[in-house]
Amino acid sequence: MNNPFKSVPIRSYEITPKDVYFSRRDFIKAAGVVAGSVALAACTPNAAELTDAPEGVPGVLKTDELGDPANSLKDITNYNNYYEFSANKEAVAPLSKGFTTTPWTVEVSGMVAKPRTFGIEDLLSLFPQEERIYRLRCVEAWSMVIPWNGFTLASLLKLVEPTSDAKYVRFETVYRPEEMKGQGSPFYPWPYQEGLRLDEAMHDLTILSTGIYGETILPQNGAPIRLVVPWKYGFKSIKSIVKIELTDKMPDTLWAAVAPSEYGFYANVNPQVNHPRWSQASERRIGELSRRETLMFNGYGEQVASLYDGMDLSLHY
Protein backbone atom coordinates (compact mmCIF):
# COMPACT_ATOMS: atom_id res chain seq x y z
CA MET A 1 0.00 0.00 0.00
CA ASN A 2 1.38 3.41 -0.92
CA ASN A 3 2.01 5.78 1.96
CA PRO A 4 -0.49 8.65 1.58
CA PHE A 5 1.78 10.90 3.65
CA LYS A 6 5.36 11.99 3.28
CA SER A 7 7.79 12.43 6.15
CA VAL A 8 9.34 15.78 6.96
CA PRO A 9 12.96 15.58 8.23
CA ILE A 10 12.37 18.25 10.88
CA ARG A 11 9.29 20.02 12.15
CA SER A 12 8.29 22.66 9.66
CA TYR A 13 7.59 25.23 12.37
CA GLU A 14 11.27 24.98 13.31
CA ILE A 15 12.40 26.22 9.92
CA THR A 16 9.83 28.90 9.19
CA PRO A 17 8.12 31.62 11.24
CA LYS A 18 5.01 30.43 13.05
CA ASP A 19 2.76 32.93 11.33
CA VAL A 20 3.75 31.45 8.00
CA TYR A 21 3.55 27.90 9.32
CA PHE A 22 -0.01 28.24 10.57
CA SER A 23 -1.52 30.40 7.85
CA ARG A 24 -0.07 29.08 4.61
CA ARG A 25 -1.30 25.66 3.60
CA ASP A 26 0.68 25.97 0.38
CA PHE A 27 3.86 25.94 2.40
CA ILE A 28 2.84 22.70 4.08
CA LYS A 29 2.11 21.10 0.73
CA ALA A 30 5.50 22.25 -0.53
CA ALA A 31 7.10 20.67 2.54
CA GLY A 32 5.60 17.35 1.50
CA VAL A 33 2.95 16.98 4.19
CA VAL A 34 -0.40 15.77 2.84
CA ALA A 35 -3.46 16.78 4.80
CA GLY A 36 -5.80 14.23 6.29
CA SER A 37 -8.23 15.02 9.16
CA VAL A 38 -9.34 13.89 12.65
CA ALA A 39 -11.68 14.06 15.56
CA LEU A 40 -10.14 13.71 18.94
CA ALA A 41 -11.79 12.46 22.08
CA ALA A 42 -12.59 16.08 22.93
CA CYS A 43 -15.63 18.11 22.03
CA THR A 44 -17.85 20.98 23.05
CA PRO A 45 -21.53 21.60 22.39
CA ASN A 46 -20.87 25.34 22.06
CA ALA A 47 -17.75 25.52 19.95
CA ALA A 48 -15.56 28.60 19.92
CA GLU A 49 -15.16 30.66 16.78
CA LEU A 50 -12.78 28.90 14.41
CA THR A 51 -10.35 31.78 14.59
CA ASP A 52 -8.25 31.14 17.65
CA ALA A 53 -4.77 29.62 17.45
CA PRO A 54 -1.68 29.48 19.67
CA GLU A 55 -0.57 32.85 21.02
CA GLY A 56 1.08 35.03 18.41
CA VAL A 57 -0.26 32.98 15.52
CA PRO A 58 -2.82 34.38 13.05
CA GLY A 59 -6.24 32.76 13.22
CA VAL A 60 -6.26 31.42 9.66
CA LEU A 61 -6.77 27.76 10.34
CA LYS A 62 -6.08 24.72 8.20
CA THR A 63 -8.61 22.64 6.34
CA ASP A 64 -8.77 18.90 5.83
CA GLU A 65 -8.72 17.25 2.41
CA LEU A 66 -12.49 17.69 2.15
CA GLY A 67 -12.16 21.43 2.68
CA ASP A 68 -13.51 21.44 6.23
CA PRO A 69 -11.74 23.82 8.62
CA ALA A 70 -9.76 22.51 11.55
CA ASN A 71 -11.34 23.03 14.93
CA SER A 72 -9.96 25.78 17.10
CA LEU A 73 -7.29 25.16 19.69
CA LYS A 74 -9.80 26.27 22.31
CA ASP A 75 -12.25 23.56 21.23
CA ILE A 76 -9.57 20.91 21.19
CA THR A 77 -8.12 21.68 24.61
CA ASN A 78 -11.12 22.59 26.76
CA TYR A 79 -13.69 19.83 26.32
CA ASN A 80 -12.14 16.40 26.59
CA ASN A 81 -13.06 12.75 27.04
CA TYR A 82 -10.46 11.58 29.54
CA TYR A 83 -11.99 9.50 32.31
CA GLU A 84 -8.68 9.17 34.13
CA PHE A 85 -9.21 12.76 35.22
CA SER A 86 -12.98 13.12 35.15
CA ALA A 87 -16.14 11.95 33.40
CA ASN A 88 -17.07 15.63 33.16
CA LYS A 89 -15.55 16.80 29.88
CA GLU A 90 -15.29 20.43 30.97
CA ALA A 91 -13.44 19.43 34.14
CA VAL A 92 -10.60 17.55 32.45
CA ALA A 93 -8.47 20.55 31.43
CA PRO A 94 -8.35 22.19 34.88
CA LEU A 95 -7.91 18.86 36.68
CA SER A 96 -5.01 17.85 34.43
CA LYS A 97 -3.01 21.02 34.99
CA GLY A 98 0.32 20.13 36.53
CA PHE A 99 0.14 16.51 35.37
CA THR A 100 3.72 15.22 35.27
CA THR A 101 4.84 14.38 31.74
CA THR A 102 8.59 14.39 32.25
CA PRO A 103 10.47 12.19 32.75
CA TRP A 104 8.42 9.73 30.69
CA THR A 105 9.22 6.33 29.27
CA VAL A 106 7.41 3.94 26.93
CA GLU A 107 8.18 0.24 27.28
CA VAL A 108 7.88 -1.81 24.08
CA SER A 109 7.93 -5.53 24.82
CA GLY A 110 6.35 -8.91 24.17
CA MET A 111 6.80 -10.77 20.91
CA VAL A 112 9.63 -8.64 19.57
CA ALA A 113 13.24 -9.42 18.81
CA LYS A 114 14.55 -6.23 20.38
CA PRO A 115 12.47 -5.13 23.38
CA ARG A 116 13.31 -1.63 24.48
CA THR A 117 12.26 1.19 26.77
CA PHE A 118 12.27 4.64 25.16
CA GLY A 119 12.38 8.02 26.85
CA ILE A 120 10.05 10.54 25.25
CA GLU A 121 13.13 12.50 24.17
CA ASP A 122 14.43 9.39 22.40
CA LEU A 123 11.22 9.06 20.42
CA LEU A 124 11.26 12.71 19.40
CA SER A 125 14.83 12.44 18.16
CA LEU A 126 14.52 9.03 16.51
CA PHE A 127 11.45 9.61 14.38
CA PRO A 128 10.71 12.48 11.99
CA GLN A 129 7.73 14.51 13.14
CA GLU A 130 4.95 14.90 10.58
CA GLU A 131 1.89 17.10 10.61
CA ARG A 132 -1.38 15.36 9.75
CA ILE A 133 -4.88 16.78 9.79
CA TYR A 134 -7.24 13.93 10.58
CA ARG A 135 -10.96 13.80 11.12
CA LEU A 136 -11.93 11.35 13.81
CA ARG A 137 -15.41 10.57 15.02
CA CYS A 138 -16.56 10.07 18.58
CA VAL A 139 -18.95 7.22 19.32
CA GLU A 140 -21.37 9.77 20.80
CA ALA A 141 -21.96 11.12 17.26
CA TRP A 142 -19.77 14.20 17.17
CA SER A 143 -16.54 14.85 15.29
CA MET A 144 -13.60 17.24 15.05
CA VAL A 145 -10.81 18.12 12.63
CA ILE A 146 -7.46 18.36 14.41
CA PRO A 147 -3.90 19.08 13.24
CA TRP A 148 -1.64 16.52 14.93
CA ASN A 149 2.12 16.25 15.04
CA GLY A 150 3.68 12.83 15.45
CA PHE A 151 5.14 9.80 13.73
CA THR A 152 3.86 6.47 12.46
CA LEU A 153 3.45 3.67 14.97
CA ALA A 154 4.92 1.38 12.30
CA SER A 155 8.25 3.18 12.49
CA LEU A 156 8.51 2.37 16.20
CA LEU A 157 7.38 -1.24 15.83
CA LYS A 158 9.83 -1.90 13.00
CA LEU A 159 12.63 -0.78 15.28
CA VAL A 160 11.84 -3.50 17.84
CA GLU A 161 11.21 -6.15 15.16
CA PRO A 162 7.93 -7.98 15.85
CA THR A 163 8.26 -11.77 15.66
CA SER A 164 6.24 -13.91 13.26
CA ASP A 165 3.99 -14.97 16.16
CA ALA A 166 2.86 -11.41 16.93
CA LYS A 167 -0.72 -10.74 15.83
CA TYR A 168 -1.89 -7.88 18.05
CA VAL A 169 -0.56 -4.77 19.77
CA ARG A 170 -1.66 -3.95 23.30
CA PHE A 171 -1.41 -0.42 24.74
CA GLU A 172 -1.56 0.73 28.35
CA THR A 173 -2.05 4.17 29.88
CA VAL A 174 -0.08 5.33 32.90
CA TYR A 175 -1.64 4.44 36.26
CA ARG A 176 -1.15 7.38 38.57
CA PRO A 177 -4.26 7.86 40.74
CA GLU A 178 -2.57 10.47 42.90
CA GLU A 179 -2.56 12.77 39.85
CA MET A 180 -5.37 11.25 37.80
CA LYS A 181 -8.24 11.44 40.26
CA GLY A 182 -10.66 9.67 37.94
CA GLN A 183 -8.61 6.49 38.38
CA GLY A 184 -10.09 6.33 41.86
CA SER A 185 -13.41 5.32 40.31
CA PRO A 186 -14.27 1.67 41.06
CA PHE A 187 -16.41 1.36 37.91
CA TYR A 188 -13.52 0.93 35.47
CA PRO A 189 -10.70 -1.65 35.30
CA TRP A 190 -7.70 0.69 35.46
CA PRO A 191 -5.25 1.23 33.93
CA TYR A 192 -6.84 2.00 30.55
CA GLN A 193 -5.99 -0.64 27.96
CA GLU A 194 -6.54 -0.73 24.22
CA GLY A 195 -5.45 -2.86 21.31
CA LEU A 196 -5.08 -3.12 17.56
CA ARG A 197 -4.48 -5.95 15.19
CA LEU A 198 -0.88 -5.85 14.01
CA ASP A 199 -1.80 -4.94 10.44
CA GLU A 200 -3.92 -2.04 11.75
CA ALA A 201 -1.03 -0.88 13.92
CA MET A 202 1.38 -1.02 10.97
CA HIS A 203 -0.93 0.97 8.68
CA ASP A 204 0.40 4.28 7.37
CA LEU A 205 -2.51 6.23 8.87
CA THR A 206 -1.85 5.05 12.45
CA ILE A 207 0.30 7.52 14.34
CA LEU A 208 1.68 8.26 17.78
CA SER A 209 1.05 11.93 18.43
CA THR A 210 3.19 14.23 20.54
CA GLY A 211 1.75 17.60 19.44
CA ILE A 212 -1.24 19.62 18.28
CA TYR A 213 -1.05 22.67 15.99
CA GLY A 214 2.73 22.33 16.02
CA GLU A 215 2.87 22.78 19.78
CA THR A 216 3.58 20.18 22.47
CA ILE A 217 0.47 18.18 23.27
CA LEU A 218 -1.26 19.15 26.53
CA PRO A 219 -2.18 16.77 29.38
CA GLN A 220 -5.92 16.92 28.63
CA ASN A 221 -5.21 15.66 25.10
CA GLY A 222 -3.01 12.74 26.16
CA ALA A 223 0.44 14.16 26.82
CA PRO A 224 3.14 13.33 26.28
CA ILE A 225 2.27 10.64 23.72
CA ARG A 226 -0.98 9.13 22.48
CA LEU A 227 -2.32 6.94 19.71
CA VAL A 228 -4.39 8.32 16.81
CA VAL A 229 -6.31 5.85 14.59
CA PRO A 230 -8.52 8.05 12.37
CA TRP A 231 -10.82 5.39 10.85
CA LYS A 232 -11.91 4.16 14.30
CA TYR A 233 -14.03 5.75 17.02
CA GLY A 234 -12.10 8.03 19.33
CA PHE A 235 -11.93 5.71 22.34
CA LYS A 236 -9.44 3.52 20.45
CA SER A 237 -6.89 6.34 20.47
CA ILE A 238 -5.44 5.69 23.91
CA LYS A 239 -3.71 8.55 25.75
CA SER A 240 -0.59 8.92 27.93
CA ILE A 241 0.91 5.62 26.82
CA VAL A 242 3.53 3.89 28.97
CA LYS A 243 3.42 0.32 27.62
CA ILE A 244 3.18 -1.22 24.15
CA GLU A 245 3.15 -5.01 24.01
CA LEU A 246 3.17 -7.32 20.99
CA THR A 247 1.11 -10.46 21.58
CA ASP A 248 -0.53 -13.38 19.79
CA LYS A 249 -3.84 -12.92 21.66
CA MET A 250 -6.51 -10.27 21.18
CA PRO A 251 -5.98 -7.83 24.07
CA ASP A 252 -8.61 -7.01 26.64
CA THR A 253 -9.76 -3.41 26.27
CA LEU A 254 -11.34 -1.21 28.91
CA TRP A 255 -14.56 -0.25 27.15
CA ALA A 256 -15.17 -3.74 25.76
CA ALA A 257 -14.82 -5.03 29.32
CA VAL A 258 -17.20 -2.43 30.76
CA ALA A 259 -19.88 -2.59 28.04
CA PRO A 260 -19.19 -5.36 25.51
CA SER A 261 -22.56 -4.91 23.76
CA GLU A 262 -21.72 -1.27 23.05
CA TYR A 263 -17.95 -1.13 22.44
CA GLY A 264 -16.36 -3.90 20.41
CA PHE A 265 -12.67 -4.53 19.84
CA TYR A 266 -12.57 -3.17 16.30
CA ALA A 267 -14.52 0.08 16.81
CA ASN A 268 -14.45 0.92 13.11
CA VAL A 269 -16.62 3.90 12.17
CA ASN A 270 -19.63 2.22 10.54
CA PRO A 271 -22.83 4.25 10.02
CA GLN A 272 -24.75 1.03 9.37
CA VAL A 273 -24.18 -0.29 12.89
CA ASN A 274 -25.91 1.77 15.55
CA HIS A 275 -24.85 2.12 19.12
CA PRO A 276 -27.56 0.45 21.26
CA ARG A 277 -28.61 3.86 22.55
CA TRP A 278 -28.33 6.10 19.47
CA SER A 279 -27.89 6.18 15.72
CA GLN A 280 -24.45 6.35 14.14
CA ALA A 281 -25.80 7.33 10.71
CA SER A 282 -25.08 11.04 11.21
CA GLU A 283 -22.77 13.21 13.25
CA ARG A 284 -22.31 16.81 14.29
CA ARG A 285 -19.02 18.49 13.58
CA ILE A 286 -18.11 20.67 16.54
CA GLY A 287 -18.72 24.29 15.53
CA GLU A 288 -21.59 23.43 13.19
CA LEU A 289 -25.33 23.44 13.89
CA SER A 290 -26.44 20.98 11.23
CA ARG A 291 -25.64 17.29 11.16
CA ARG A 292 -23.78 15.51 8.40
CA GLU A 293 -23.82 11.96 7.08
CA THR A 294 -21.33 9.66 8.76
CA LEU A 295 -18.78 8.25 6.31
CA MET A 296 -17.85 4.58 6.34
CA PHE A 297 -14.46 4.14 8.01
CA ASN A 298 -14.76 7.86 8.76
CA GLY A 299 -13.98 8.58 5.12
CA TYR A 300 -10.75 6.55 5.02
CA GLY A 301 -12.29 3.52 3.32
CA GLU A 302 -10.07 3.69 0.26
CA GLN A 303 -7.03 3.28 2.48
CA VAL A 304 -8.28 0.78 5.07
CA ALA A 305 -11.28 -1.22 3.78
CA SER A 306 -9.02 -4.00 2.51
CA LEU A 307 -7.95 -4.73 6.09
CA TYR A 308 -11.42 -6.15 6.72
CA ASP A 309 -12.07 -8.13 3.53
CA GLY A 310 -14.30 -11.09 4.31
CA MET A 311 -15.32 -9.84 7.76
CA ASP A 312 -18.91 -9.19 8.81
CA LEU A 313 -18.55 -5.70 10.24
CA SER A 314 -21.94 -5.89 11.92
CA LEU A 315 -20.55 -8.70 14.07
CA HIS A 316 -16.97 -7.47 14.35
CA TYR A 317 -17.96 -3.99 15.52
Instruction: Mark the ranges of the chain whose per-residue pLDDT is less than 50.
Output: 1-51, 56-60
At 136 the pLDDT is 86
42: nearest Cα among 185, 203, 217, 176: 217
Name the β-bridge partners of 172: 193, 243
User: For position 286, what pLDDT does the model report?
Assistant: 85
pLDDT, tens digit (0-9, with 9 covering 90-100), for 28-58: 333 333 333 333 333 333 333 333 555 544 4
pLDDT digits (tens, 9 = 90+) for 101-134: 999 999 999 999 999 999 999 999 999 899 999 9
**What's this model's pTM, rounded to 2 decimal places?**
0.82
Model pLDDT, residue 62: 80
Number of Cβ within 10 Å of residue 313's Cβ equals 16
Closest alpha carbon to 294 in 266, 265, 264, 269: 269
> What is the pLDDT, as a whole number, of residue 304?
98
Tell me, what's the pLDDT at 310?
Answer: 96
Task: Supply the pLDDT for residue 79.
Answer: 81
What pLDDT does 157 receive? 98
Encode the chain in three state secondary structure: CCCCCCCCCCCHHHCCCHHHHHHCHHHHHHCCCCCCCCCCCECCCCCCCCCCCCCCCCCCCCECCCCCECCCHHHHHHCECECCCECCHHHHHHHHCCCCCCCCEEEEEECECCCEEEEHHHHHHHCCCEEEEEEEECCCCEEEEEEEEEEEHHHHHHHHCECCCCCEEEEEECCCCCCCHHHHCCCCCCCCEEEEEHHHHCCCCCEEEEEECCEECCHHHCCCCEEECCCECHHHCCCCEEEEEEECCCCCCHHHHHCCCCCCCCCECCCCCCECCECCCEEEECCCCCCEECCHHHHCHHHHHHHHCCCCCCCCC
CA-to-CA distance for 283 and 265, rounded, in angstroms? 21
Region 12-308: CATH code: 3.90.420.10
Supply the pLDDT for residue 44. Answer: 34
What's the pLDDT score for residue 55? 52
Instruction: State the pLDDT at residue 61.
Output: 57
Res 42: pLDDT: 35
